[in-house]
């Protein structure tokens, strides 16, 4: 068995996520308390007791998902379950970088708080939207977006086989959805997002993030491989990791290629660590042979322990 870890990004959050872990496991509580001490506010209270509107603010969402992901990672490690290859979708890449010690826990917590704040506060003026396009090849989606006349729209997330998310001005996204349905898309679904994430429109947020990244240390890449969002290839010690992380905000996420490269490296078991089951769905659509687990709740976690440690 060769295990890979994958970490979810924004959109997987829900009020109460991680509470069952927090109440049962002391090591989980310690991670939440450690993050709260660094940030100066109670991350557990934000995650378990806030309302959906508060939790879904980008500056809150990103830190809450990160801390839950890191807490469950610690719990897996304490049960002897580790991976030598990991990746994350957008925000989730930071969980992978912290797990692999390329970024320290403290620096990771601080930089993700800033990342979420910049992505929320530096949104350009306008009415923005994203949509998931199902059942159409990538090239058709790319070419169709170029034909849109009502504004800016581009592919932003290459999620899995048969699913790409597009992002841009609302009218342009709606026009693209119609054109893509005419081109043969099975479905085109508007997503609940507040900005043109992973496009050039977040240039200001990217620049501010790059400045903030200068304040943290990047450690040497070890034998724990992390696959990058921007090209699905492993980080190396020759990479300008701070530059890559800043560019990450304005470039498409290549998650489909990440899954393919992870499986091609010999991974036969993938664990999605954090809230939700979205990435598990992406893995299944890309490769039906690989074994996939999620950690959305304690029941799902205990299944991992029972099956992997048996």
173: CATH: 3.30.70.250
Min mean pLDDT across 18-32, 96-110, 232-246, 296-310 is at 296-310
Tell me the per-residue pLDDT of 78-109, one tens digit each, with 9 for 90 and over: 999 999 999 999 999 999 999 999 999 999 99
Same domain, 208 and 300: yes
pLDDT of residue 195: 80
- Percent helix, strand and coil across the chain, each rounded to 5? 50, 15, 35
| 223 and 168 belong to one structural domain | no
Would you say residue 193 has pLDDT above 80? no
**Predicted local distance difference test score (pLDDT) of residue 222:** 87
- What is the enclosing helix (H) or strand (E) of 292? strand 291-294
Which of 191, 216, 240 corresponds to the end of one domain? 191
- CA-based torsion, 10, 254, 273, 245: positive or negative: negative
Q: Which pair of tokens denotes residue 34? A: 């450690």
Q: How far apart are CA 122 and CA 148, in angstroms?
A: 25
Which residues are designated catalytic? 90, 198
Does 81 share its domain with 226? yes
Asked which of 156, 191, 226 is the last residue of a domain, the reply is 191
Same domain for 58 and 89, yes or no, is yes
Q: Are residues 16 and 99 in the same domain?
A: yes
Task: Count CB neighbours of 90 within 10 A.
Answer: 23
What pLDDT does residue 191 have? 86
Q: Do 28 and 115 fall into the same domain? A: yes
Evaluate if residue 194 carries a pLDDT over 70. no
- Total domains in the chain come to 2
Do the bridges between strand 291-294 and strand 269-272 make them parallel or antiparallel, or are there none, so unpaired?
parallel
Residues 248 and 179 reside in one and the same domain? no
310 band by pLDDT with thresholds 50, 70 and 90? low
Is the per-residue pLDDT at 211 higher than 70?
A: yes
Looking at the structure, tell me whether residues 20 and 156 fall in a common domain: no
Residue keyed to tokens 């991992």 = 304
Q: Are residues 223 and 289 in the same domain?
A: yes
Per-residue pLDDT reduced to its tens digit, 111-159: 999 999 999 999 898 899 999 999 999 999 999 999 999 999 999 999 9
Residues 90 and 163 in one domain: no
Quote the longest CA-to-CA distance of the chain: 57
For range 240-254, the mean pLDDT: 97
Expressed as residue numbers, the domain containing 160 is 128-191
**CATH code (residue 234):** 3.40.366.10
What is the token pair recorded at 151? 């504004």
Average pLDDT of the chain to the nearest whole number? 95
Same domain assignment for residues 173 and 278: no
């Amino acid at each position: 068995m060769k295990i890979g870890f994958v970490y979810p990004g924004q959109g997987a959050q829900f009020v109460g996520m991680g509470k069952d872990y927090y109440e049962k496991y002391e090591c989980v509580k310690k991670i939440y308390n450690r993050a709260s001490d660094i940030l100066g506010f109670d991350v557990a209270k934000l995650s378990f007791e806030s309302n959906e509107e508060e939790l879904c603010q980008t500056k809150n969402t990103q830190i809450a998902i990160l801390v839950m992901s890191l807490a469950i990672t610690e719990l897996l490690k304490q049960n002897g379950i580790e991976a030598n290859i990991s990746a994350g979708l957008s925000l989730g890449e930071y969980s992978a970088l912290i797990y692999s010690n390329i970024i320290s826990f403290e620096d990771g917590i601080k930089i993700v708080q800033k990342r979420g704040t910049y992505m929320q506060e530096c949104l350009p003026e306008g009415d923005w939207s994203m949509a998931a396009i199902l059942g159409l090849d990538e090239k058709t989606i790319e070419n169709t977006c170029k034909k849109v006349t009502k504004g800016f729209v581009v592919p932003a997330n290459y999620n899995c086989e048969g699913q790409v998310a597009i992002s841009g001005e609302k009218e342009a996204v709606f026009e693209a959805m119609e054109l893509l349905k005419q081109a043969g898309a099975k479905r085109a679904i508007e997503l609940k997002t507040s900005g043109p994430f992973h496009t050039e429109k977040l240039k200001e947020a990217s620049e501010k993030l790059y400045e903030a990244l200068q304040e943290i240390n990047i450690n040497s890449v070890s034998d724990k491989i992390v696959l990058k969002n921007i090209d699905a290839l492993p980080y190396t010690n020759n990479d300008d990791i701070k530059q890559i992380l800043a560019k990450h905000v304005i470039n498409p996420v290549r998650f489909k290629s990440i899954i393919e490269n992870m499986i091609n490296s010999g991974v036969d078991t993938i664990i999605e660590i954090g809230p939700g089951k979205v990435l598990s769905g992406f893995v299944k659509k890309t490769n039906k042979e690989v074994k996939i687990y999620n950690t959305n709740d304690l029941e799902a976690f205990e299944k991992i322990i029972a099956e992997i440690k048996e």
